[in-house]
Structure 1
Amino acid sequence: MQIRPAELDAIRAGTIDLAFRRWDRPRLLVGTRMRTRVGLLEVTSVDRVDLEAITDAEASRAGATRAALLDLLARRPEHPVYRIGLRWAGEDPRIALRADDRLSPGDLAALRSRLERLDRSSPRGPWTRTVLALIADQPEVRAPDLAAGLGRDTVTFKRDVRKLKELGLTESLAVGYRISPRGRAVLDAWPADG
């Protein structure tokens, strides 16, 4: 579900707690947590509603006037309207994870095991150490440039970097990436032969 930046800020501030969408079927489940630039958002409700039943108060809770909301929802009239309850559910847990560079031998072993699984499942063969080192050596370099330097396409390169990000090893920037303190600890502890 796409949410505009100003709406994300308002959800975090608690001034917006509803969204309305036209979908062919519900696209979210209650309890779903979405990572956004303002942190985690949680879906608190998903209800099919009649367009005419949307109140001024509900439109306001979605950050719009009723007229503006109805105008927006007039598009794609073949699909039903869903009212989605939303709340800010806290900071993105990857922020704290990537700052945690105090890794025990067990932590390092678990991370290495995860990275080895990623390497084994890749049709290109091992890539995790190469990509971590590349990002460490070339922070703030555009993904297409990094991918090209490895002879890879941008789409699959970015997908791989997201896998590292999920482990708290990298961080996305406005342009490019940087290695996190956690990623630096993993890279520094990587045996020279492995």
Structure 2
Amino acid sequence: MLFKIEHLQGIKSGAIALAFRKWNKLAAKEGSLMKTAVGIIEVLEVSRVELLEITEQEAQMAGFSNLNLLIDLLNKVTSGDIYRIRLSYKSEDPRLELRENTLLDKTEFDLLKAKVEKLDKFSKQGDWTLQILNAIKNNPKLRAADLALLTGKEKDWLKLNVRKLKNLGLTISFEPGYTLSPLGEHYLNNL
């Protein structure tokens, strides 16, 4: 599930406790955890609803100033069922602390290097991690579509695999684009 940053901040503060989505297939599961820009968000409850069942108060609990704005957004998706998703902020994202850590001893650095090399080893694209890390380093905050063109990769492939680097603490996502984290800089500088 994607959220605008202002909605994520509202979930973190507790001002937003609901989200509404129109999907052809249910795409959220009760109890699941989502890593987001503000931390870990938990899906507490998912229920199918009819558009006319949504109240003004629920729209406000989803971060909309009025019900009509929410309805307009849901109507932009032409088909699918509407789901009410109850959400809660769970914790900080552990990747935030990870990406700031540049004081790795040799064992920790070697473990990180092995994890990165494993991404290359099991990729159908062959070795890609250094190419992508260097492209991000040399083109900070470049849109994913442009970074994909620059590296000769498909945009969806690039986004999925940059997320793998992010999970290791090596990159930071922005709207738009990516940068290397302090750990990512440290990693490249010490290869």
**TM category, shorter:** 0.7 to 0.9
Q: Tell me, yes or no, if the aligned pair for 2:39 and 2:91 is still in contact at 8 Å.
A: yes
The change in CA–CA distance for 1:83 and 1:127 in structure 2 (over 3 A counts) is closer
TM-score normalized with structure 2 length? 0.75
**Mapping for residues 19-34 of structure 1, pairs under 5 Å:** 19-34=19-34
Distance 2:17 2:11 in 1: 6
Distance 1:35 1:88 in 2: 10
The change in CA–CA distance for 1:53 and 1:136 in structure 2 (over 3 A counts) is closer
Unaligned 5+ segments in structure 1 are none
Instruction: Give the share of equivalent positions with the same residue, in percent.
Output: 39
**Mapping for residues 1-194 of structure 1, pairs under 5 Å:** 1-64=1-64, 67-68=67-68, 71-72=71-72, 75=75, 79-141=80-142, 150=151, 152-155=152-155, 156-174=157-175, 176-190=177-191
Q: CA deviation at 1:35?
A: 2.8
Higher deviation after alignment, 115-124 or 67-76: 67-76
Corresponding pairs, count: 189
1:115-173 deviations in whole A, cap 9, x for unaligned? 221111233432323433444455455556655555x2352444433322221112234
Q: Tell me, yes or no, if the aligned pair for 2:23 and 2:79 is still in contact at 8 Å.
A: no
1:58-96 deviations in whole A, cap 9, x for unaligned? 343223477527844874797443221011223332221
Distance 2:103 2:150 in 1: 32
The change in CA–CA distance for 1:77 and 1:144 in structure 2 (over 3 A counts) is closer
Q: Secondary structure at the match of 2:29?
A: coil
Q: Secondary structure at the match of 2:30?
A: coil
Higher deviation after alignment, 138-147 or 34-43: 138-147
Distance 1:3 1:117 in 2: 31
Q: CA deviation at 1:100?
A: 0.7
Structure 1 runs of 4+ off > 6 angstroms? none
The change in CA–CA distance for 1:183 and 1:68 in structure 2 (over 3 A counts) is same
Unaligned 5+ segments in structure 2 are none
Distance 2:176 2:26 in 1: 34
The change in CA–CA distance for 1:168 and 1:58 in structure 2 (over 3 A counts) is same
TM-score normalized with structure 1 length? 0.74
Q: Greater Rg, structure 1 or structure 2?
A: 1
